[in-house]
Chain A
């Protein structure tokens, strides 16, 4: 877990962005967002992992996939809690409907495979086995980094009556940061799960968490989030 005591890396930031009280997590008003946990983005055998290996950079990405493996059980815990308490679980993928990814912007298409964008029907577009959406979960596809830039997420959250989003998935310095920021900028509370997201560079992960943690973005661990939800796993009491 990264240093969360500092709200910002400098005195100016600390003076500008003092602590605002945590929101009350009412489950019915809460959505867990699971962002980009597709095989292309988060499975070493597909997409990014395959590309890195083919370029002889498998070692550079090993730590990333280890951290992804560590965060998955945390996301599973949170989805169980949010689901059991009557909240919403929303899976978000970056996938195209066309095989040549023609609906992407030119700049996105130029880097598409290198950031894990893939055609919707391909095996690598599937969500990781351990996080497969349930019947009740919602699936939203986007063609940009932030779901607020190319998907109806904002409208869907409003229709569902959501006030608070818990943001999990990959990668901290891009989709996770922009999703949390986009939500807070639109008036939602955003809880960023520090041990429910990661990126290729551990240093960038920590840097991003420090940079975003002000105002309506709260950086919390899975344990803290479960506590905020007042979640008890009664199955343990049998």
Chain B
């Protein structure tokens, strides 16, 4: 549903990105939130809920995220990996909401398979990992300071889930003044409907929803650069 408020808004200028002021965010592609055998996936299976749509979509977006990731490396855009992760083995440092939902959502204590990034999403050399104990990365980490130190003003968001960790992180980022691209075919939610509703809800002024190809174009990257 489009917010009727958008009818009042002037046409938006095309987003311009300066690659030297941009960072790529790869959000929650660790065992707990992105692997069918761990964390959320295992708990859902135990409850007899079919979440294969979500995990199929994660499989689907991974090669596209890796393409964007490679392009970013090539043109010098820093890559930042986020995940929900405890610093402790008993997760007592997680936020209260995750403490309460922990038995239902699964924990991701340090060193566990839930905590580990997927094999296809292992952080590379000189890439940054930001561990959060909340849904939005801005609620529990120093990412705002880190991005300022790096001179980053624009963010490209990928990962899962579109309406939760990615959604609330990008809405907070845009609200704090970052120019944000939400990459529609590099993000996934538990259902197609939830994914599309979330994208539609955020695409009105502060966030630009773009496909991978459009994002590469905005970055000024073409396959010939490879």
Contact = CB atoms under 8 A, between A and B. Distances in A.
Interface string A178-205: 1001101111000000000001110110
Nearest to A154: B139
B81 interface: no
B4 interface: yes
B152 interface: no
Question: Would you call the interface of chain A mostly helix, strand, loop, or mixed?
Answer: helix
Given A178-B172, A185-B135, A187-B97, A10 B194 contact: yes
A186 B168 CA distance: 13
B156 interface: no
A233 to B, nearest CB: 32
B194 A16 contact: no
Contact of A150 (B176, B190, B206): B176
A173 B96 contact: no
Interface string A195-221: 000011101100100010011100000
Nearest to A105: B177
A15 B172 contact: no
A65 B5 CA distance: 13
A20 B100 contact: yes
Contacts of B44: 12, 15-16
B31 to A, nearest CB: 16
A55 B96 CA distance: 46
B140 A185 contact: yes
Interface stretch (B47-55, B111-119, B214-222): B47-55
A1 interface: no
Interface in A1-35: 9-13, 15-18, 20
Measured as residues with beta carbon below 8 angstroms from the partner, the interface class of chain A is 35 or more
A145 interface: yes
Contacts of A187: 95-97
A149 B4 contact: no
A48 interface: yes
A144 interface: yes
A57 interface: yes
Given A16-B44, A107-B179, A187-B95, A182 B139 contact: yes
A12 B54 contact: yes
Contact of A207 (B4, B179, B197): B197
Nearest to B94: A187
A189 to B, nearest CB: 8
